């Protein structure tokens, strides 16, 4: 595995690969590090589908709000490299902030509309920071395929929109959410949780798993479904709900509250963000038609 710290180095590494393998496909997994099995699942999928796998590890200041956890975001580069190698990574790009942003940025990529809701509403500027850094990373790595987790389902929708709008020559590959044995969605931020918070945080995945049962009720409306979600999550007293929303996916448009869930012939997302102390967790289920698989 080759580890590069500068844009020039990683460009040279990838261009050498391309010269030797003109038909070879480049798979790319962008991350902020502190890798877990969720990240490994993206790397393994890329390994199966591509000839070379590039991982980036960069905690991007542009996507953090002024009161968010940029400084204390967990970092463990040695462990990251070991996990990356095990998952079949070929090249790692690990730039410094100065390398990515040597001067004040006067350009940003903004996707409108779908960034006004969910995490975009709670974290103003977040998705402009994500779209901007992902554009830079795509320009540096020039991948054929890029892998993103559906735990950040709004991020997937934003990147897909950006790629389509700007005709970027990369295929976006959404990957399913990996969970701990008890259901908690894997996330680098789970390390912030106290044992009590960790226990209560299960309410997110529990509420989502009850969806299958609730949806069988032919009378249930989207408004009622949202209330059921809320009741389930509020059973955990330590949790502070940021949002519980049900929207079309990937368009992220509102659905009439009195519309019957059983009659939905469109894909939709049940998206949750709940704070436990200072730790904000997200989770979701995407219901795809016609089978309505969660």
Ligand X SMILES: CC(C)(CO)[C@@H](O)C(=O)[O-]
Ligand Y SMILES: Nc1ncnc2c1ncn2[C@@H]1O[C@H](COP(=O)(O)OP(=O)(O)OP(=O)(O)O)[C@@H](O)[C@H]1O
275 is in an annotated binding site: no
Residue for token digits 């979600």?
229
Using the rule CB under 6 A, is 42 a contact of ligand Y? Answer: yes
Two structure tokens written together for 27: 């798979």
C-alpha to C-alpha distance for 155 and 269, rounded to whole angstroms = 13
| Residue 247 bridge partners (DSSP) | 254, 269
Active site residue 126: no
70 is in an annotated binding site: no
Phi, psi dihedrals of residue 220, rounded to the nearest 5°: -60, 130
Count of chain residues binding ligand Y (CB under 6 A): 18
Using the rule CB under 6 A, is 88 a contact of ligand X? Answer: no
Using the rule CB under 6 A, is 190 a contact of ligand X? Answer: no
39 is in an annotated binding site: yes
| CA 98 to mean position of chain CA atoms | 24
We find the least distance from the C-beta atom of residue 12 to ligand Y, in angstroms, to be: 25
Neighbours of 284 (CB within 10 A): 23
Using the rule CB under 6 A, is 63 a contact of ligand BAL? Answer: yes
- Interface residue with ligand Y, options 118, 157, 162, 177 (CB under 6 A): 177
Report yes or no: 251 and 215 within 8 Å, Cβ to Cβ. no
1 is in an annotated binding site: no
C-alpha to C-alpha distance for 227 and 215, rounded to whole angstroms = 13
We find the least distance from the C-beta atom of residue 264 to ligand Y, in angstroms, to be: 25
**In the complex with ligand BAL, which residue's Cβ is closer, 186 or 264?**
186
- Interface residue with ligand X, options 134, 141, 229, 246 (CB under 6 A): 134
We find the least distance from the C-beta atom of residue 128 to ligand BAL, in angstroms, to be: 12
- Interface residue with ligand X, options 31, 132, 154, 284 (CB under 6 A): 31
Using the rule CB under 6 A, is 115 a contact of ligand BAL? Answer: no
Residues in CB range of 212: below 8 A, 6 or more apart = 294
**In the complex with ligand BAL, which residue's Cβ is closer, 31 or 89?**
31
Residue for token digits 């006067």?
106
**In the complex with ligand Y, which residue's Cβ is closer, 186 or 264?**
186
Per annotation, catalytic residue among 39, 126, 227, 262: 39
Instruction: Identify the sign of the CA torsion 34, 37, 39, 43.
Output: positive
| Cis before 250 (ω within 30) | yes
Report yes or no: 60 and 200 within 8 Å, Cβ to Cβ. no
> Which residues between 141 and 200 bind ligand BAL (CB under 6 A)?
152
**H-assigned helices in 114-179:** 118-122, 126-141, 153-165
15 is in an annotated binding site: no
> How does DSSP classify residue 171?
E
Picking from 86, 69, 96, the residue whose alpha carbon sits closest to that of residue 190 is: 69
113 is in an annotated binding site: no
**In the complex with ligand Y, which residue's Cβ is closer, 55 or 225?**
55
Binding positions for beta-alanine: 63
For binding to ligand Y (CB under 6 A), which residues are involved? 31-32, 38-39, 41-42, 148-149, 151-152, 175, 177-178, 185-189
Binding positions: 32-39, 63, 149-152, 155, 178, 186-189
For binding to ligand X (CB under 6 A), which residues are involved? 30-32, 60, 63, 130, 133-134, 152, 155
Task: List active site positions.
Answer: 39
């Amino acid at each position: 595995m080759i580890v590069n710290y500068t844009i020039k180095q990683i460009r040279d590494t990838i261009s050498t690969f391309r010269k030797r393998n003109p038909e070879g496909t480049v798979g790319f997994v962008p991350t902020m590090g502190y890798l877990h099995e969720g990240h490994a699942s993206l790397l393994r999928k890329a390994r199966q589908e591509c000839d070379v796998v590039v991982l980036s590890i960069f905690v991007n200041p542009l996507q953090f709000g002024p009161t968010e956890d940029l400084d204390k975001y967990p970092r463990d580069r040695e462990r990251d490299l070991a996990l990356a190698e095990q998952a079949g990574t070929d090249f790692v790009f690990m730039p410094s902030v100065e390398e990515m942003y040597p001067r004040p940025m006067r350009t940003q990529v903004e996707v409108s509309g779908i960034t006004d809701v969910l995490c975009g509403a709670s974290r103003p500027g977040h998705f402009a920071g994500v779209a901007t850094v992902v554009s830079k990373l795509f320009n540096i790595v020039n991948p054929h395929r890029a892998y993103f987790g559906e735990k950040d389902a709004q991020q997937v929708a934003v990147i897909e929109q950006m790629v389509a709008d700007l005709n970027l020559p990369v295929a976006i590959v959404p990957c399913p959410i990996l969970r701990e044995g008890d259901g908690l969605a894997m996330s680098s931020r789970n390390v912030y949780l106290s044992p009590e918070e960790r226990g209560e945080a299960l309410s997110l995945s529990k509420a989502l798993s009850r969806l299958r049962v609730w949806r069988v009720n032919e009378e249930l409306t989207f408004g009622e479904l949202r209330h059921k979600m809320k009741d389930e999550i509020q059973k955990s007293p330590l949790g502070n709900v940021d949002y519980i929303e049900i929207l079309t996916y990937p368009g992220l448009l509102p659905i009439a509250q009195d519309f019957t869930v059983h009659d939905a012939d469109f894909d939709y997302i049940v998206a949750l963000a709940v704070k436990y102390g200072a730790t904000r967790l997200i989770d979701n289920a995407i219901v795809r038609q016609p089978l309505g698989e969660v």
